[in-house]
Amino acid sequence: MSTVEETVNEVPEYLNCRSCDTGDLLPLSDFGAHGAAVHYKAWVCSNPDCGFNLKIRNGDVFIGEPILDGQERGQRELGPPQEFRR
């Protein structure tokens, strides 16, 4: 059994990126439509010059999709207010 100190000091070992042979593949998680955690939904290379990525969406695997910077993403454009009727 490991102590708390050993657990805190452990560094996870990641897979080597076979696309560039210098970066590591880092796992990313997300939340599903109903708020449940989806672990390892995507893997991205830690080398910014490489850009390799693999994503799982609705059971399909996508490789090499463009990577977008979340800070560059604009806010969603809101349309005109809609009237709520019962």
**16-54 tens-digit pLDDT:** 999 999 999 999 998 888 889 988 899 999 999 999 999
pTM metric for this prediction = 0.62
| Residue 77 falls inside a structural domain | no
Q: Domain count of the chain?
A: 1
DSSP of 47-70: -TTT--EEEEETTEEEESPPP--G
| Residue 50 falls inside a structural domain | yes
Domain carrying residue 21: 12-66
CA quadruple 63, 53, 64, 71: dihedral sign: positive
| Residue 19 falls inside a structural domain | yes
Name the average pLDDT for the chain: 79
